[in-house]
Amino acid sequence: MGRSPCCSKEGVNRGAWTASEDKILTSYIKVHGEGNWRNLPIRAGLMRCGKSCRLRWLNYLRPDIKRGNISHDEEELIVRLHKLLGNRWSLIAGRLPGRTDSEIKNYWNTTLGKKAARVQTESSSPPTAKYFSRFRNPDPDPPVTPAAPKPQVIRTKASRCPKMVLPTVQPNQQEDNPENSRDFNFLKFYCEDEIGKEGTTGLSHSANSMQLEDSQLFKYWLVEDCLIENNAALDLGSFDFLLNDTQHWP
Partner DNA sequence: AATCAGTTCAACCGCATCACA
Partner DNA sequence: GTGTGATGCGGTTGAACTGAT
Binding site for DNA (CB under 7 A): 3-4, 6, 9, 13-17, 35-39, 48-52, 54-56, 58-60, 67-68, 87-91, 101-103, 105-107, 109-111, 114, 157, 159-160, 199-202
Give whichever of 157 and 248 is closer to DNA, judged by the CB atom.
Answer: 157
**CB of residue 167 vs DNA: minimum separation in angstroms?**
25
**CB of residue 101 vs DNA: minimum separation in angstroms?**
5
Give whichever of 13 and 120 is closer to DNA, judged by the CB atom.
Answer: 13
**CB of residue 105 vs DNA: minimum separation in angstroms?**
6
**CB of residue 182 vs DNA: minimum separation in angstroms?**
28
**CB of residue 133 vs DNA: minimum separation in angstroms?**
20
Give whichever of 48 and 174 is closer to DNA, judged by the CB atom.
Answer: 48
Beta bridge partners of 212: 164
Give whichever of 114 and 248 is closer to DNA, judged by the CB atom.
Answer: 114
